[in-house]
Structure 1
Amino acid sequence: MAAHWQSRFEQYAHERVGRHVGLTDEEMTAIRDGLEPTIAASRSTSTRGPQRPSAP
């Protein structure tokens, strides 16, 4: 979305999430350039982040 619309805020916000889930600089650059990155298969594919414990 950020690459398509050239939105600096979208880029900033989504790069923070990408880094949090472990994207590399190379992957971030590919995404920024509008390309589909090759993501290492050994990493988790979850983008939900840390899960909160459910209420008792």
Structure 2
Amino acid sequence: MNLSTDDKKLLQELCKQHIVSFEKVLKLLDTVQEYEFKERRTGIYDALRDVLKNGGGPGGLG
């Protein structure tokens, strides 16, 4: 996902405040973007579930 420097800083701050893995949030955003323009989004929930299960880091999404 292509985030501006300011957006990336803001997202990192929010992740830190809420004790959520920044890397995992980026992976979730990338996954959603990957499915965004598909005619059918079959498999998106499985893909998101895999990110949540296999991604590392502290916090609610870690």
Which bin holds the TM-score, normalised by the shorter protein?
Answer: 0.3 to 0.5
Question: Higher RCO, 1 or 2 (CA under 8 Å, sep at least 6)?
Answer: 2
Q: Whose Rg is larger?
A: 1
Q: Please, what TM-score do these two structures have when normalized by structure 1?
A: 0.39
